[in-house]
Structure formats: C-alpha cells, structure tokens
Amino acid sequence: MKLIFFTCQNSPFRGLGGRDTINNMEKVIVAESLTKRFGHFTAVDHISFEVEKGEIFGFLGANGAGKTTAMRMLCGLSKQTSGKGVVAGFDIASQPELVKRNIGYMSQKFSLYGDLKVWENIELFGGIYGMTDEQIKLKTDELMIKLNFEEERNKLVSSLPLGFKQKLAFSVAIFHNPRVVFLDEPTGGVDPITRRKFWELIYDATAHGITVFVTTHYMDEAEYCDRVSIMVDGRIEALDSPANLKKQYQAKNMDEVFQQLARKAKRVDS
C-alpha cells in the first residue's frame, strides 16, 4: 500500500492529451448558465461547462475575472443568482449538504490552523468528515511517508515553509477521498520547482479517481491540465485542451493564448 504513488503514473506530465482515451463520460461537475451578481455587478456571467471524472480542469482568468466566485458557488459557499450547477451528482442549490460531503476545497488563502500541529490539523479535518480514529491514524502515517513529512508531523503548521503548507493543505483537502477537489490558486507565491512537486500530488490524486478543478495564474501549470477554460470578465471565452487552444490561437504556448484573450478584458481589478 506504500509508495506506489510515484510509480503508478508514467510521469507528472502525462496530462498532454492522455485523457482522450477515457470515454465513460461520467460528469462530475456540470454548470449551466451559472451566474452571480453582487448588486448590479455581474461577477460570473452565464458560464456553462462540464468536467468529467478524473479530469484535471484548469480554470484560468485574470485577477477579478470571477474564478473564485464561480468556485464558491460550485462548493455551496455562495448561492448562484441564476443558472444551475451539479457537483458529484448533487444540485448545488438544493442539496448543498450532499455536495459538501463529496468535495474537497483548498481556498485561495492558506487555511489550515497555524497554531495546530501537522497531525492535529489532519486529525481535525478527518474528524469533521466523519472518519474513524483508525482510518485517520492509518492514513496519516501513509501521508507522512508519502510527503516525506515524518519530521514535521509534530511541528506547528505556522512554522512550515509555504511550499510545505500548500502540500499539506492539498493533502488535507483530499484526505477524506472526495469525488472532486477544488483548488483555488493552490501554488501562489512559490517557485516553479516547488510547483512541480505540488503537481505530482495532483496527478497522484487523479490516479485515484479524484477529479481536480484548479484555478491558476501560472501558464506553465495550465499546460499540465487536461482541459482549460479561460475566463474574461465573468464569461468563459475559451475552453479546450491546451494543445487545441494553442492550435486555435496559433500560439507557441498557453501564455500567448491567455494574452490574446485577456486583452479583451474591460474589468479592472486590483
């Protein structure tokens, strides 16, 4: 049961097109004209998309494009103004409790408890998701080995470097084996090597059947996704695999694609 994780996937960069072979088409996230208004301001404007089981779905957009707002609606944190959303088979408006039980969430702000130790954070969230003590203990041991965290186990989370914290937050978000995990800029503020390590964890999670919905500002990360959507001013302007997008926009890389689309943005956000 140990350490098969790193070997079970051919490489962390398997994402480029490898997903096309899966055809069971189980929809884990469905958004239909999902809209959120704050007063007269439309933060998310009729977005529609579907995400399949095991997919890594990248959700790109400039600052203020509405990524976090869209994600919050899908997680049941915020109620949509109109439109429909189904996550893990449950309606986000009418069955938020069932949605919550089947998802994991890593927010844009780092959000574990800094004054709790590493294992205490894990135990807490395991407990919140109704796992038994044995399950928690077993999985914690496994996780500590996998993350090479045995020495940090007893340290306060606030004392860890940012890269460690992010890995831990992700591991906690998927600790209860959710069907889908929502990651809001999970790797903000760390260097490319640390980001790559983080993405190894993401691939590992998809290998275990967890669907990943991730927002990012880093275009290198966009390349790792199976499909990406690019949001401009609350609307989805493009949605396809990175390879197809590059072809369509005749771009060398995702950064060029993004620049072409983002130029259209009218919204100015700090």
Partner 1 sequence: MKQLLSFIRKEFHHILRDRTTMMILILMPIIQIILFGFALTTEVKNTKVAVLATTDDEVTNRIIEKINSSSYFDVVANIHSNDEIQAIFRDAKAKLVIVFEDHFSENLRHNGKAHIQLIADATDPNAATSFTFYVSNIIASYQQELMGTTKNPYQITPEVKMLYNPQMVGAFNFVPGVLGMIMLLICAMMTSIAIVREKEMGTMEILLVSPMKPIYTILSKITPYFVLSAFNFATIMLLSVFVLKVPVAGSFLSLVFVSLLYIFVSLALGLLISTLTSSQLAAMLISGMGLMIPVMLLSGMIFPIENMPVILQWISDIVPARWYISAVKTIMIQGLGISSVLKEVAVLSFMSIVLVTVSLKKFKVRLE
Ligand X SMILES: Nc1ncnc2c1ncn2[C@@H]1O[C@H](COP(=O)(O)OP(=O)(O)OP(=O)(O)O)[C@@H](O)[C@H]1O
| Contact positions vs ligand X (CB under 6 A) | 38, 41, 43, 61, 63-69, 108, 269
Paired sense of beta strands 41-52 and 27-38, if any:
antiparallel
Binding mask 105-134 for Mg ion (x = CB under 5 A): ---x--------------------------
**Whole-number minimum distance, CB 42 to ligand X, in Å?**
9
Binding mask 90-119 for partner 1 (x = CB under 8 A): ------xx--xx-x-x-xxxxxxxxxx---
**Whole-number minimum distance, CB 195 to Mg ion, in Å?**
17
| Cβ-based nearer residue to ligand X, 34 or 147 | 34
Q: Counting beta carbons within 10 angstroms of the beta carbon of residue 169, is it exposed (0 to 12), middle (13 to 18) or buried (19 or more)? A: buried
| Cβ-based nearer residue to ligand X, 69 or 171 | 69
Stretch that binds Mg ion, among 6-14, 16-24, 61-69, 220-228 (CB under 5 A): 61-69
Q: Which does 130 bind (CB under 5 to 8 A by kind): ligand X, partner 1, Mg ion, none?
A: partner 1
Residues 44-83 close enough to bind partner 1 by CB under 8 A: 72, 75-79
| Cβ-based nearer residue to ligand X, 1 or 41 | 41
Q: Phi and psi at residue 187, in whole multiples of 5°?
A: -115, 25
Say how many Å lie between the first and final Cα of the chain, rounded. 47
**Whole-number minimum distance, CB 92 to ligand X, in Å?**
16
| Alpha carbon distance 113, 155 (integer Å) | 12
Footprint of Mg ion (CB under 5 A) = 68, 108
